[in-house]
Amino acid sequence: MDDDTQHTLRRWLTGPRFTSLPVRDASHPVPLLSFEFSPPRTEAAEHQLWTCIERLGPLGPRFVSVTYGAGGSTRERTHGTVARLAKETTLVPAAHLTCVGATKEEVNEVARQYWDAGVRHIVALRGDPPPGTDYAPHPGGYAYAADLVAGLRAIAPFEISVGAYPETHPAAISPTDDLDALKRKLDAGATRAITQYFFDTDVYLRFLDRCLAAGIKAPVVPGIMPVSNFAQIARFSAMCGASVPDWLGRMFEGTENEPELRRMIGMVVAAEQVRLLQANGVDEFHFYTLNRPELTFAIAHVLGCRAA
């Protein structure tokens, strides 16, 4: 062996050792999945959404949810998409509903319409104020998501999911206040929290510890954001308070003009993340699909899910 080879091996052998992630066998339950879509704006987007639903539906998600545009701006389109899911598919639809900028009566009316359309699951959120302004509750409205949850409970026995923030909601007074707010939403009748997406798995696992210590018993399901357009995610993350680790930026460096390469990298990043979560015992996942099926489908496959 020459000196160079010896030097290389010494370097390889003196670093920290990591064992492999546990292998999933038949004794492990297949994870429970949910998929989030956004309501389409155009005919082409509508086609893309339904292609996405057709591809992901056979994976048997527990529910599929449809977002509500800022300030209720997609009210009709969200309702149309959710109602169509309820009517034309066997999937369980969940409608996102926000209370920002609306009276209680307006919000209650939307909720009643969902119930009448056969929709039994609401993802209840406060929503965000218009960009550049601070949040102020509507004088006749639900002030926070916990109030909305209580209001929905009074309308009908909806299943209710709420949002959670492993890195703390950007407008929260403190992490403890934010955790209290999450607990209030669950105490008001929500049965599940879905997290804002995160890229540092350790942040999420520490958040679970804090939830448990705060007496939260409901599942706090990780929201997984498969990244294929890094620049877009970096911009969005700055607004919603999700941090983008340096290592993620480095992985996507130089890929601006290579969409296929970006997708492959996005796949590796997300697969690593979900496998690590799975190795830590997490067996429920919520995917922000961005109405694009392929990354989510591939990651679900890696998790052990198969199309029926």
Ligand X SMILES: Cc1cc2nc3c(=O)[nH]c(=O)nc-3n(C[C@H](O)[C@H](O)[C@H](O)COP(=O)(O)OP(=O)(O)OC[C@H]3O[C@@H](n4cnc5c(N)ncnc54)[C@H](O)[C@@H]3O)c2cc1C
Site residues (vs ligand X, CB under 6 A): 67-68, 70, 96, 98, 123, 125-128, 144-146, 163, 169, 171-172, 177-178, 181, 185, 194, 196, 223
> Taking the complex as a whole, how short is the minimal distance between the CB of residue 253 and ligand X, in angstroms?
28
Separation of alpha carbons 49 and 293, rounded Å: 9
> Taking the complex as a whole, how short is the minimal distance between the CB of residue 107 and ligand X, in angstroms?
13
- With tokens 């990298």, the residue in question is 265
Count CB atoms within 10 A of the CB of residue 218: 18
> Taking the complex as a whole, how short is the minimal distance between the CB of residue 146 and ligand X, in angstroms?
6
| 36 flagged as catalytic | yes
Residue (of 259, 267, 64, 23) closest to 161 by Cα position: 64
> Taking the complex as a whole, how short is the minimal distance between the CB of residue 171 and ligand X, in angstroms?
4
> Taking the complex as a whole, how short is the minimal distance between the CB of residue 196 and ligand X, in angstroms?
4
Separation of alpha carbons 204 and 220, rounded Å: 10
Is 123 or 267 the residue whose CB approaches ligand X more closely?
A: 123
Is 142 or 252 the residue whose CB approaches ligand X more closely?
A: 142
Is 115 or 144 the residue whose CB approaches ligand X more closely?
A: 144
> Taking the complex as a whole, how short is the minimal distance between the CB of residue 164 and ligand X, in angstroms?
6
Separation of alpha carbons 145 and 160, rounded Å: 11
Catalytic one of 36, 105, 159, 253: 36
Is 53 or 265 the residue whose CB approaches ligand X more closely?
A: 53
Is 100 or 295 the residue whose CB approaches ligand X more closely?
A: 100
Angle between helices 104-116 and 75-88 (to 10 degrees): 20
What are the structure tokens assigned to 110, written together? 């939307």
* 270 touches 295 (CB < 8 A): yes
Q: Which residue is nearest to ligand X (CB)?
A: 163
Q: Which helix (H) or strand (E) holds 197?
A: strand 192-197
List CB contacts of 35: < 8 A, sequence separation 6 or more: 56, 61, 64, 65, 286, 287, 289, 296
Residue (of 273, 300, 302, 242) closest to 34 by Cα position: 300
Is 16 or 215 the residue whose CB approaches ligand X more closely?
A: 215
Q: How far lies 204's CA from each of 114, 154, 168, 181, 246, in Å? A: 32, 32, 11, 17, 17
Residues that are catalytic: 36
